[in-house]
Amino acid sequence: MTKRLVVLGTAAMLAMGAAPSGPWMDKSLPPDRRADLVMEQMTLDEKLGLVHGGSAYAGQATPQPTQSLGGAGFVPGIPRLGIPDFQMTDGRSGVANTGKRGRYATALPSSLAAGATWDVKLAYEYGALIGKEARDLGFNVSLGGTANLIREPRNGRNFECWSEDPILIGKMLGRALKGTQDQFVIGNINRYAVNDQENGRMVYSANMDKRALRETDLLAFEIAIKESDVGTVMCAYSKLNGVYACESPYLLTDVLKKAWGYKGWVMSDWGAAHSTVPSVLAGFDQEMPTGRYLGDAFKAALEKGDAPTARLDDMVHRILRTEFAVGVFDNPPSVHPVNPFTGAEVAQQVAEQSAVLLKNANGQLPLRAGAVKSIAVIGSHADVGVMSGGGSDQVDAAGGNPVAGGGAVWQPSAPLQAIREKAAGAKVSYDAGTDPASAAKLAAATEVAIVFVNQHTSEGRDVASLALPDNQDELVSRVAAANAHTIVVLETGGPVTMPWIDKVSGALEVWYPGIRGGEAAAHILFGSVNPSGKLPVTFPKSEEDLPHPVLEGLAGRTPAPFDVNYTEGLKTGYKWFDAENKAPLFPFGFGLSYTTFAYSQLKAAASGQNVTVTFTVKNTGRAAGAEVAQVYVGLPANAGEPPRRLVAWEKVPLAAGESKVVKVEVDPLYLSVFNVERDGWEVLAGEYRVYVGGSSRSTALAGTVRMAER
């Protein structure tokens, strides 16, 4: 009689009462020691099994292992040692790729929207919800957390990013990743590094000098990694200075593991591995989703002596110690239905705090329910939902996509219905906006016209321009010509140009606002919520004002290799506009409120390399609101830096007439420059200008501090 071998996952063994045992299960031991104890029991093949994905090789018909949940990725565990299966899912603006666990997870506002809240506590809740829902669905690795700068505003994945500023990215994303990992789910930070556009992402080389690299793109990763102790770093598809990111000793070993002391592991983006020995020797730890390079080929390299076994042991140790450190070993997922009510509450809170009021001429907003008798709602399928971004960050719409075709996905949160609920007694009519003349006719017959416009962006392609697609600029212009009380609500994945901005009375940016986006927009339009979002990215007047007016790689979907030369260096985002004396359409940090704020009593003091800034913010209006008070610093002239950089902020809630004293401590790293010759950070001696205010271009207070020679 032939015996059939049955391989059970760790979760299945636990369900049968076969709890793993061994000295590594002693929770009192440190993670590194526990990892060492497990490794003493592992065979070579078992170690190799952890350093690559368990999906089929490209071109093979091998099915996914039965214990895989069918998410974004899978690595089989080792049941006899209690090593759990890695069940991976995407999770930047909610749990995507839920596989066999069903379709429902909360569609949160985009990461860029979360960045617009400037609220580190809310960022933690955002990440914690993703971690909790991933765990409830049976996953233990969340592939979320993009630390790339919005260096290229036409990038199709900007909606997955948090900002154009490395410190804002690092602090906000760091808290979100911490929230995820506190749910016993391993977090991930990606796409390391300088993957700042999608066109040609498999073939282009992003080229930048070392100082600019460390002070811009890599600084965002450095802060977020240190703030969160995130378990995994995902290397990007693209090259950096001619070397694939997943083969770069500088990125993976010199900076990440040595300079930053990173203890987690490096995994590839899906299909971003290109070699065996060069990748392994560079510091690469895990190939996903297959084992093309780190499976049999790696075993052969080890047996030949082309790769040292010590490197394999380091790879496995990093993986195991992370599992212990995050709690995956000791707290396996317990599957529960996702709570849609908790998710919707967090989603709406983020959407409401992330919306940025860009224009409010003559106090057009908030609309007064009961005073307005007729409203035209126009465009962007506002009768059924709100737009979301595409690609691996696409969270399936609960209840299905209410808009068929076109590739874009709308979340079923209808602004039209929410506006009707708020505008009690008013006649609220809808026009699809596909015919500008028809929309203008409806607008002319109503007191107020609210035009919803959108810009669909997605992984895998950049937008051709910053103009709104599908003739929407003409739609807004025609409606505004017909009705002087026209308000535009923008659902976009990043900055757009607005040739009609002088013709409309109001403009509200809601980004991709998630499953309660319609309700959030209506609450702001009618004043139930006072907008407090601030732009985490500069909106240019035109593409001619950008460092790269022409986007590289638009010739085809799979172009020949090409270079993207970031010769602007340190001058990213608002720093470019400041250094080049260019006026943006809307500056970084900008956002209006239904109340007003005043700043006073600035005090800035230095003690060694530490700077303390104290000031007072007062709500001078008649409505309660929250102000994002921002602190910028201009470094000494000999630093060779752009005019000013963000170094601190605080979101300050204030009742009408209330004042608060704000005190912030500036991290010395945020005042530093990177000395390439010394390969380290330094705070230069000299005079530092301190600016405080409501945006990068509106700083009511200014002072100086002097840093002494060390």
CA atoms within 13 A on the CB side of 157: 25
Q: Residue 212 and residue 579: Cα distance in Å, rounded?
A: 15
Q: Residue 321 and residue 247: Cα distance in Å, rounded?
A: 23
Residue pair 517/510 in contact by the 8 Å Cβ criterion? yes
Residue pair 171/469 in contact by the 8 Å Cβ criterion? no
The conformation of residue 260, written as its DSSP 8-state character, comes to S
**Could you tell me which residues come within 8 angstroms of residue 53 by beta carbon, excluding any fewer than 6 positions away?**
73, 74, 75, 286, 287, 288, 289, 290, 291
Q: Residue 34 and residue 45: Cα distance in Å, rounded?
A: 20
Give just the sign of the alpha carbon dihedral 108, 105, 226, 275: negative
Q: Smallest Cα–Cα separation from 213: which of 171, 233, 241, 243?
A: 241
Helix or strand run (H / E) with residue 515: none
For residue 403, report the phi and psi dihedrals to the nearest 5 degrees.
-120, 125
Residue pair 187/229 in contact by the 8 Å Cβ criterion? no
Q: Smallest Cα–Cα separation from 506: which of 361, 372, 378?
A: 361
Residue pair 17/8 in contact by the 8 Å Cβ criterion? no
Q: Coil, helix or strand for 41?
A: coil
Q: Coil, helix or strand for 475?
A: helix
Site of tokens 């592939």:
143
**Could you tell me which residues come within 8 angstroms of residue 190 by beta carbon, excluding any fewer than 6 positions away?**
143, 145, 146, 147, 233, 234, 236, 269
Q: Residue 633 and residue 6: Cα distance in Å, rounded?
A: 63
Residue pair 172/120 in contact by the 8 Å Cβ criterion? yes
Q: Smallest Cα–Cα separation from 110: which of 491, 396, 490, 511?
A: 511
In this structure, which amino acid lies at residue 653?
P
Q: Residue 477 and residue 493: Cα distance in Å, rounded?
A: 22
For residue 441, report the phi and psi dihedrals to the nearest 5 degrees.
-65, -45
Q: Smallest Cα–Cα separation from 182: which of 126, 240, 107, 235?
A: 126
Catalytic choice (119, 136, 165, 269): 269
* Catalytic annotation present for 36: no
CB contact burial 342-377 (16+ within 10 A = b; e otherwise): ebbebbbbbbbbbbbbbbbeeebbbbeeeebeebbb
Site of tokens 């035209």:
376
For residue 178, report the phi and psi dihedrals to the nearest 5 degrees.
-60, -40
**Could you tell me which residues come within 8 angstroms of residue 629 by beta carbon, excluding any fewer than 6 positions away?**
599, 615, 617, 649, 650, 651, 652, 662, 692, 693, 694
End-to-end CA distance of the chain: 80
| Catalytic residue positions, numbered | 269
